[in-house]
Amino acid sequence: MTSTSHHRELRNQLETLTTEAFRPELADIDQLSTLDIARLMNGEDSAVPAAVAARLPEIAAAIDAVAERMGRGGRLVYAGAGTAGRLGVLDASECPPTFNTDPSEVVGLIAGGPDAVVASVEGAEDSADLARADLDALALTDADTVVGISASGRTPYAIGAVEHARGIGALTIGLACNPGSALAAAAEHGIEVVVGPELLTGSTRLKAGTAQKLVLNMLSTITMIRLGKTYGNLMVDVRASNEKLRARSRRIVALATGADEEETERALAATDGEVKNAILTILAGVDGPTAARLLEDSGGHLRAALTATGR
């Protein structure tokens, strides 16, 4: 296929995508006041949660499948290009401080590698081979999950990642913002959050990016809830890696137990700062080593560990 015919085919594909549609009613947007443009954008954004809500059954089914795989040692891997890839990298990078996961447990792959997080890497998104190589570098197994992310649903990197992962037997999820997408069709779990044309034609970092962020928030957060990384709505696996998080750790222990400042400090000191362990020492009246053993026996689930002590 010649370069000209390839470009023509790609242009024809884009013209069929909802996310790429031109909106003539907004052709004079640059002549509006800043406040009016802001109102337009805000109105556009308000439709995104409803689009996500329409896909909640598919999202929940995917989360249950991810939690089952991760519960037996699997990893969660995001793969995307451009904005979609950056959102995956962002979500993955926030899991260690929030849920005390190892950085290898939730991984964000972006077409073009780490440099592509801050700069465009020409042609990277068009390579399915690059996606396969990136997954092979992780030594992907059938215990893992790969989430391909693409607003258009046609990005070769995201589709290539899902197809390669599915061939290995890994769980696959395809997150797109167009109906009938190749990405959703390639995955075991297809999630298509259709947010409609963008304020700026084809600028899918806007509504489509917001929708992807909301879904990724759900995927990681609810999976971690299912894995026992929380106690109620408290982040009991938080990693206290800075002063703010150390203060948060003390507050979480106090909220979970009703303990005063002195008892909270003693419990955290006895458990090397592990919030979940500290809570267990207070609520179950056990020492640090016993709390650690109980949590290990319960697979890290604080409620199960408490039940084992009769609490």
Task: Identify the pLDDT of residue 22.
Answer: 79
Stretch (H or E) spanning 49: helix 48-53
Q: Which residue in the list 94, 188, 263, 265 is annotated as catalytic?
A: 94
Contacts of 254 (CB under 8 A, 6+ apart): 260, 261, 264
Contacts 24+ apart (CB under 8 A), 209-212: 209/83, 209/84, 209/87, 209/151, 210/45, 210/48, 211/48, 211/51, 211/52, 211/177, 212/83, 212/84, 212/87, 212/149, 212/151, 212/175, 212/177
Residues of the chain with CATH 1.10.8.1080: 243-308
Q: Which residues belong to CATH 3.40.50.10490 in the chain?
A: 48-226
Ranges 43-57, 119-133, 196-210, most confident: 43-57
User: In the sheet where 171-176 sits, what is the strand order?
Assistant: 106-110, 76-80, 145-150, 171-176, 189-192
Measured CA angle at 187 (ends 122, 214), to 5 deg: 75
- What class is the 48-226 domain? alpha beta
125 given a catalytic annotation: yes
Active site residue 94: yes
Residue that wins the pLDDT comparison between 279 and 25: 279
Q: What is the pLDDT of residues 168-200, one digit of tens each?
A: 999 999 999 999 999 999 999 999 999 999 888
Fold of domain 243-308: Helicase, Ruva Protein; domain 3 (1.10.8)
Catalytic annotation, pick one of 125, 163, 198, 274: 125
Q: What is this structure's pTM?
A: 0.89
pLDDT at 141 over 90: yes
Residue 231's pLDDT band (cuts 50, 70, 90): very high
